[in-house]
Amino acid sequence: MVPEFGGIPTGLPHVSLPQEGLGYYNRIFDMWRRVNAAGNRIVFDFSQCTFLGQNGVAFLGGLARWFERRGGEVAFDWDSLRGNVRMNLAQNGFLSSFEGGVDPWEGNSIPYREDPKLDKDALVDYLANKWLGRDWVHLSDGLRYAVAGKVCEIYVNAFEHSDSRVGVFSCGQHYPNMKMVRLTAVDFGVGIPGNVRLFAGDENIQASSAMKWAFQRGTTTRPGSSGGGVGLDLLKELVRLNEGALQVFSHEGYAVLLSQSERYAARPQYFDGTMVTITLRCDEKYYRLMNERDDEPLF
């Protein structure tokens, strides 16, 4: 018997603010639990899926590859796709990755991407040009590449620490009506709390405490490193000034970093790996580095 279930739950809402809609993520990670408990074949059914954001796209693609890596067989019920969902999956390249025959095109999507191995140059190019280089957020070239280099640390950490056998999966989306742009990266490795517990030699560290430790400046689990956290100090500052958000989910912990606050807490659904979502506002402000000549530099 083929286990069938909704790839994404009924009435998937668009999460407008990071502190809202945590039930959405709980349902996504419950999907991971069900796939983890499945047999040798699964079918993703989209009949109840009315919207699929960039986080769902990146997670679904990674989940399918993760199941295949385990030796399982994955099928998609493409006939169950609604027109708007199909259009989005075609535009961002998800369909061409799994179905073939449909070339993606440039629109409001940041392309779906699979990175089974680390290629920093290709990733920085993707982040600087496909995500930050579309004039949705007004950044100087210096800041654009500086932020891309820092965000690339998410991928570096995933390959160096997470032991994700299928790599990292990314997708982004521009939401013009909300004046926001979002990027999500997912790995299916051991997770941030797992690494922190191993580094500290203490399996009893709470996931929320491990997440908070990992985001402090100067902390790292990288052997021989002089520090630097997860490489997101610059990005955290940009998020703060841009009134954006940074969300990180790993194991039973999550971190939400907003312009005026940081929150580290526990949640009911467990996920082995790590999901990072970055939200930036699309406004008329122009952001730049401190060493770039301007009357009001960013840093």
How confident is residue 22, by pLDDT bands cut at 50, 70 and 90? Answer: low
CB-CB contact of 266 with 208 (8 Å): yes
* Alpha-helical runs (H) found in the chain: 22-36, 54-69, 83-91, 94-98, 120-125, 141-157, 192-200, 207-214, 233-242
CB-CB contact of 53 with 12 (8 Å): yes
d(CA 193, CA 210): 5
Structural domain contains residue 270: yes
pLDDT 10s digits, 260-288: 888 999 888 889 999 999 999 998 888 88
pLDDT at 294: 53
Task: Provide the number of structural domains found in the chain.
Answer: 1
Q: Identify the sign of the CA torsion 292, 293, 298, 299.
A: positive
Structural domain contains residue 295: no
Q: Which of 178, 184, 134 shows the shortest CA–CA distance to 154?
A: 184
- Domain range for 230: 4-281
How confident is residue 233, by pLDDT bands cut at 50, 70 and 90? Answer: low
Q: What is the mean pLDDT of the chain?
A: 82
Structural domain contains residue 223: yes
Structural domain contains residue 267: yes
CATH number at residue 180: 3.30.565.10
Structural domain contains residue 298: no
Percent of the chain with pLDDT over 90: 40
Long-range contacts of 132-136 (CB under 8 A, 24+ apart): 134/110, 134/174, 134/181, 136/174, 136/181, 136/280, 136/282
